[in-house]
Structure formats: structure tokens, C-alpha cells
Amino acid sequence: MEPIKGKKILVTGVTGWVAGPLATSLAAQGNTVFGAARFRDPAQREPWHAQGVQTVSIDLEKDRLDEVPADLDIVLHFAVAKSNNFEEAFASNAHGSANLMEKAAARSDKVSFFHCSSTAVYAPHDHDPRKEDDLLGDSHRPMPGMPTYSISKIAGEVLVQHTAKRLGVPTVIARLNVPYGDNYGWMMFHLMMMERGIPVPVHVDQPTSYTPIHADDIARSIPYLMSYASTPAEIVNWGGDQIVSIEDWCHEMSRLTGIEAKFNPTTATIAAIIPDLAKLHDRGFVTSVDWRDGIRRQIAASRPELLKA
């Protein structure tokens, strides 16, 4: 599928892990890209301008959306609040997402909406792959510091679906599994724990498996996902083609660095969540970055001194 080119695109959550590299990639492909975040400090905007991304300041929790541009072709909505407070989480992740769609649709009659959700919305079921119509649940409640995440993401999906149908906005809801890149990802936190001799939490129902997807493939997959944008909104699982566990990637980081990987089996963490990717594959998308290559690239970019000769 051809890359997206020549479009006017708003990317929310641009200061986050996933949205930032995607925004710069889309700008490099010849799109007019607006990167949205709170941007409380004006100096935060300059690095994005240098990479061809125009910046706009929005606040989903406070419904401050006056800088949303007109005549947008696409909104790629990645902004998310990870709050311990349900009121704040719902205001940003649910009401804020619907309000953003409302504002974009009021300013453009051609806009399509991409809503980044999460496989955190699924109720884990041993190691069975989760399909888009499988049972939802509060998978992240056991995770310290994330009591609102799964529930507010489910609420966000519901309000986005409702708003898309009410306004007639073509919409896709993509449930992202484990994103990572050369300079970000869950694996980096695990490597830091390994350095300090801290056992990495894994679920007692091992292996603690997911389908990590590299930033390169995240960027490549957007046109395939956008092809599902419709009214009513379509839900599509989003991840890499390889099933990989926390145990797997920690052992690989140990092999690459010589640092021992220790584990702490517990129920106070997320159980394995493996998305069924049949719908994404039906559009012809396959990932290109092998997870072992991705891990090596990540360490080489972020902690090169740790790589063994």
C-alpha cells in the first residue's frame, strides 16, 4: 500500500513515544503535519519545527481545542492520559477524544479519524489470541500506577464510535499492543532493571507474551489501518507478527550485553495479551523488523556502551 503523501494531518500526543517519530516520518513524506500537545513551554516547540512538524497546543482534559487546524484530511489521535484519577482519565481519554473529533469535523468536511486504543482493553484469556470482538476487561488493574488505563481506554472507544456514527466521520480504532523503537520502549525499562539487579516482573502464567511492533513498522502500517476507516467505526488489532515474551526479550538483552536477567513471577502485573492480527494481515500488511534486530538496534542507539563486542 502506498505511503500517505500530500495530506494535511494532525497528530496528537506528538511529545509521546509513538506519535513523535510517526509525525516526523509523515512530514518527511511530503505531508503538512501538525503536532499537538499541551506545549506549556514554548521552547518545547522548536525541535518539532526543525523536523518539519508545525505545532499546536491542545488540552483534552480541559477541552482546549481552539488551535485545531481547519481543512484537515486526517487526525491521528495518540494523546493519552495515564492518571490514577478516574475523572481525569475519562476527561482526557474518553470525553477529550470525542470532543477532538467534533472539533475536527466542524472545521473539515473531509476529515478521517484514527483513534489509537490499546490491547489493554481485552480481558486476558490464558495465551489465546484476542479477536476484535472478544471479551473486554480491566487487564491493567493489577499493574501498579495504572488503575484507570483499561477502563478509560474502553470508554474512549465507546465515545469515539458514538461520535463517528453521529457525525458521519470515517474512523478506525486501532488497538495497539507493545510499541517500541530505537529510542523508546518497555524493553528499555527492563534493561535498566537488569543493570541494577532488580528482578523484572512477569506474570505467574508464563510466558508473559505480546506482539511488539517497531516504530518503522508502526509508520508503515498507518495506510493499511487507515484503509479501514469507515462509518460506523471499525476496530482493528495492531501489533507485530512475532509473539515475543518479556522473558524472551530480557534473555536476548542478556545475551547482547552480558547482564543477567532475573525475574519476579507475580499476579501484580499484566498477563499475556496476544492480539489476533488477521484483519491487519487481510489488508496485506506484514512487519519488517525482526524483534531480535529491533532489540539490538534499541541498545545500540540508547545504550551502546552495554553491547558486547
Percent of the chain exceeding pLDDT 70 equals 100
106 — pLDDT class (breaks 50, 70, 90): very high
How much is the pLDDT for 146?
87
Residues 192-214 have pLDDT tens digits of 999 999 999 999 999 999 999 99
55-86 burial code (b ≥16 CB/10 A, e <16) = bbbbbbbeeebeebbeebbbbbbbbbbebeee
Beta bridge partners of 213: 179
Percent of the chain exceeding pLDDT 90 equals 95
The C-alpha cell of 21 is what? 517519530
- Asked if residues 11 and 34 have their Cβ atoms less than 8 Å apart, the reply is yes
Pairing, β 209-210 against β 244-245: antiparallel
The whole-number average pLDDT for the span 9-38 is 97
- Cα–Cα distance, 155 to 158 (Å, whole number): 5
176 — pLDDT class (breaks 50, 70, 90): very high
- Asked if residues 212 and 294 have their Cβ atoms less than 8 Å apart, the reply is yes
CATH of 8-184+211-241+274-288, one of 2.40.10.10, 3.40.50.1400, 3.40.50.720, 3.10.180.10: 3.40.50.720
Residues 247-306 have pLDDT tens digits of 999 999 999 999 999 999 999 999 999 999 999 999 999 999 999 999 999 999 999 999
Residues 61-70 have pLDDT tens digits of 999 999 999 9
Domain segments of the chain as ranges: 8-184+211-241+274-288
Residues 2-12 have pLDDT tens digits of 999 999 999 99
Q: Is the pLDDT of residue 144 over 90?
A: no
**Alpha carbon of 229 to those of 18, 63, 146, 170, 177: distances in Å?**
20, 25, 29, 5, 19
145 — pLDDT class (breaks 50, 70, 90): confident
